[in-house]
Structure 1
Amino acid sequence: MQEHDMSWVRTEMALAQPAPARERGAYAWVRKNLIGSVGDTVLTVLGVAIVLWIVPQVINWAFINAVWTGPDRTVCTTASQGGIQPDGWTGACWAFVNAKFGQFMFGTYPIEERWRPILVAILFVALLVPMLIPRVPRKGLNAILLFAALPVVAFFLLVGGVFGLPHVETPRWGGLLVTLSLSFVGIAASLPLGVILALGRRSKMPIVKILSVVFIETVRGIPLIVVLFFASVMLPLFLPEGVSFDKYLRALIGVSLFAAAYMAEVIRGGLQAIPKGQYEGADSLGLGYWQKMSLIVLPQALKLVIPGIVNTFIGMFKDTSLVLIISMFDLLGVVKQNFADANWATPQTAKSGLIFAAFVFWLFCFGMSRYSMYTERRLDTGYKR
């Protein structure tokens, strides 16, 4: 029997080789993403030109020519370098933000009691951060403390009237305190309500399905301003004599129900995207309806619609500014309210205040967006080639 020469056959795995020098590093990234073609090169040059034109002006306005401290508007209309400018002071008036910062954060909450919302904020961060870190253990206990225990503790701390704490009426709340509290409660309530409404709309029970459809389509068909106006002004007319709810509580309910209707449609889209085989597989295992939904269907559906869920959260966070229609002042409302202060009533202070409010809103919305992208990547367990 003739032997075959096998000397040409590799007996060891080839070691991984680094990519060619021209395919790695900063130059390779620039060549691939910025100057890969004539069109890319033109857009890159145009974008760099716009940035070089805008950024120096922004830095000059926000930092170099800005006024950081001062007792009143005169510091923002008189330049410390070169006297009065022809068109007024060309820098930001951060002195206005600095002077009104306490109101921007807490509204007219009593100064001597502001340690209470600060303590609530510390507890919120202390419970939220471990919840967002995947590898931190005891997520169940953390969720219970964050979504069940913290709201109760926050209510007694902020409202007072117990344990020797002075009572603080909710009309005195304002600023970022109102924005964050409305958003947190709305997010915590709208997600489970949205899940229930989405399941109800897909239910085979006619009454449950009809009620879910009527609620979702009715709420989604009217603006949030109308919902808030109805909750604040019209709802008390339908209540028995002597029965009333706090205006802040009515705003909470209105925002939560409004967001739940939109959340239900987002989650329904995720439920419809689940292949029929997943339902049939769960049925073949003998799982009941709630077991099938909680263990098989909903985890997959919620993972698919993370962008839509976070988009609803971001929209709700920004829509809290509409509570101004019912005489409640969130961050933007308090900023605009302080424009009427005769000591600070100038166009420069108005611009600076609005930009400060915009930056705070952007900071929270950008944070939610980036974390949702991180969560998507972490939960991406689809088939990979």
Structure 2
Amino acid sequence: MSDTSFVRREMLDAQAPPPSQVGIIGWIRENLFSGWFNSILTLSSIYVVYWILASVLPWVLQSSWTATSLNECREQIAAAYGEGTSGACWAVIRERYLQLIYGFYPSELYWRPNLAFILMIFALAPVLYPNVPRKMLWFSGLYPFIAGWLLWGGTIWTPIAIVAGFAVGYGLFRVLIDRFGSLAAVIAAVLGTVLWWLLLAGPVAATLASTIPIGLTPVESRQFGGFMLSIIIGVTGIGASLPLGIVLALGRQSDLMILKSLSVGFIEFIRGVPLITLLFVASTLLNIFMPPGTNFDIILRVVIMVTLFASAYIAEVVRGGLAALPRGQYEAADALGLDYWKSMRLIILPQALKISIPGIVSTFIGLFKDTTLVSIIGLLDPIGFSNAIRANAEWQGIVWELYAFIALMFFIFCFFMSRYSMSLERRLQTGHN
């Protein structure tokens, strides 16, 4: 008698999935050849990649690393790979890479920018990674003054006097906040700090330097150049523009008419002017408004303009994050009895900054790449040095090798910034589930 029951009487063993649906074959089938249109795109892309590699790789590999001029480089390539062979002359990188990195910085003092770069990594670690002890944040705050002293040299009392200005401002804030309120205390603290820097920091540093002479060999700003200059401008601009941009965003959202008008006017003016115009102002016009005899360092002027330019864009990105928050978050902060600053610090800004991470990092990447514009005002960044190298009779006519090296270095920095942004978004779970 045949069994016609509809109830399973025995369990079947699990079967392995078809080989075409799993592993590398399954991934290729699903992502590259899932249909006739995707198959055509995949084959076309493979052909384009093959054509590019077939054109570029011989030029990259059939090269010379030991020549001392462009003509000698071409002779070596022709002797090694045959007449008419086109190859890269990487010898220019081997011969001039120190200038591309350090500019005209004295070679016997290379340890100073190297040490400043290593210390920068330690200073950024507690800011970028939560597993690093928070106690290291004090070093992050002091690092800009340590790095400035290492790079420019001079007496150690100058950065100490600058740091003392912040101590003066903080002391005024603590003394006045209970008597006159937070706004008056902040204004007094800012004015006290600025007056200390303008009137007292220089004489105090000079007096201490004459009494206890401790310092490093001074290096003039005109000796800075190459990637070192790009990193100085880029990192300083990034580090200073973020807090300034947050303050501007909060000012634009403020109910105080004067504060809001100043913030809106600053943001719209800066965003309406090209960066190269601001750099020309920094290099030529800014000294006109300074007192006679004032020596305002050109790199400092450029850093200030780059910071102001980036802060306006950061302010708009942060404002977008603030506008994206539901109104209920503000009402919840009010319901908890938090004042304005506590609600912003504990509830509003953390969420707004999470939302704004992609835009902030994109602005930072653009800022770092825009540091090459300083070559137009006479500073020898990597692009400026490449022009100087090509003007040399020995390397006149060489182009792609220098630009390829510069592009690779910028790609490395920008790639790591982009990857960090993605990891930060995953860690903070910025996206909506």
When normalised by structure 2's length, the TM-score is 0.79
CA distance in 2 between counterparts of 1:26 and 1:260 reads 46
Greater relative contact order (CA < 8 Å, ≥ 6 in sequence):
1
Q: 2:143 matched to 1:153? A: no
Deviation at 1:329, TM superposition (A): 1.4
CA distance in 2 between counterparts of 1:78 and 1:337 reads 24
Query: Once the two structures are aligned, what percentage of the paired residues are identical?
Result: 45
Q: 2:352 matched to 1:359? A: no
Q: Partner of 1:279: helix, strand, or coil?
A: helix
For 2:121, the equivalent position in structure 1 comes to 125
Deviation at 1:216, TM superposition (A): 0.2
Structure 1 letter corresponding to 2:394: N
When normalised by structure 1's length, the TM-score is 0.89
Structure 2 letter corresponding to 1:157: L
For 1:69, the equivalent position in structure 2 comes to 66
Change (3 A) 1:168 1:381: closer
Deviation at 1:22, TM superposition (A): 4.6
Between structures 1 and 2, the one with greater helix share: 2
Structure 1 letter corresponding to 2:60: A
For 1:36, the equivalent position in structure 2 comes to 34
- State the Cα deviation string for residues 148-170 of structure 1 (Å, max 9, x = none): 22211111111112334211101
Deviation at 1:363, TM superposition (A): 1.3
Change (3 A) 1:380 1:93: same
**Greater alpha carbon shift after TM alignment, 198-207 vs 119-128:** 119-128
For 2:199, the equivalent position in structure 1 comes to none
Change (3 A) 1:285 1:17: farther
Contact 1:67 1:75 in 2 (8 A): no
CA distance in 2 between counterparts of 1:253 and 1:85 reads 53
Contact 2:63 2:77 in 1 (8 A): no
Contact 2:77 2:87 in 1 (8 A): no
Q: 2:318 matched to 1:238? A: no
User: Which ranges of structure 2 fall in alignment gaps of 5 or more residues?
Assistant: 1-6, 8-13, 156-213
Contact 2:248 2:315 in 1 (8 A): yes
From 106, 109, 116, the counterpart of 2:105: 109
Deviation at 1:243, TM superposition (A): 2.4
Structure 1 letter corresponding to 2:350: P
For 2:169, the equivalent position in structure 1 comes to none
Change (3 A) 1:46 1:382: closer
Contact 2:249 2:318 in 1 (8 A): yes
For 2:315, the equivalent position in structure 1 comes to 264
Change (3 A) 1:284 1:23: farther
Structure 2 letter corresponding to 1:66: S
User: Which ranges of structure 1 fall in alignment gaps of 5 or more residues?
Assistant: 1-7, 9-15
1:150-299 equivalences in 2 (<5 Å): 150-162=143-155, 163-299=214-350
CA distance in 2 between counterparts of 1:169 and 1:280 reads 54
CA distance in 2 between counterparts of 1:294 and 1:180 reads 30
Deviation at 1:27, TM superposition (A): 1.2
Q: Partner of 1:167: helix, strand, or coil?
A: coil
Contact 1:72 1:343 in 2 (8 A): yes
CA distance in 2 between counterparts of 1:234 and 1:199 reads 31
Deviation at 1:123, TM superposition (A): 1.5
For 1:13, the equivalent position in structure 2 comes to none
Q: Partner of 1:78: helix, strand, or coil?
A: helix
CA distance in 2 between counterparts of 1:48 and 1:275 reads 46
Contact 1:77 1:84 in 2 (8 A): no
Contact 1:219 1:258 in 2 (8 A): yes
Deviation at 1:128, TM superposition (A): 3.3
CA distance in 1 between counterparts of 2:424 and 2:24 reads 28
CA distance in 1 between counterparts of 2:311 and 2:149 reads 26
Deviation at 1:219, TM superposition (A): 0.4
Q: 2:109 matched to 1:58? A: no
For 1:92, the equivalent position in structure 2 comes to 88
Deviation at 1:60, TM superposition (A): 1.4
Deviation at 1:80, TM superposition (A): 4.1
Q: Partner of 1:237: helix, strand, or coil?
A: helix
Structure 2 letter corresponding to 1:220: R
Contact 1:79 1:85 in 2 (8 A): no
Contact 1:106 1:174 in 2 (8 A): yes
**Greater alpha carbon shift after TM alignment, 111-120 vs 210-219:** 111-120
Deviation at 1:362, TM superposition (A): 1.3
- State the Cα deviation string for residues 215-265 of structure 1 (Å, max 9, x = none): 000000000011111122111111222223111110010000000001100
For 1:339, the equivalent position in structure 2 comes to 390
Change (3 A) 1:86 1:21: closer
Between the two proteins, the alignment pairs up a number of residues equal to: 363
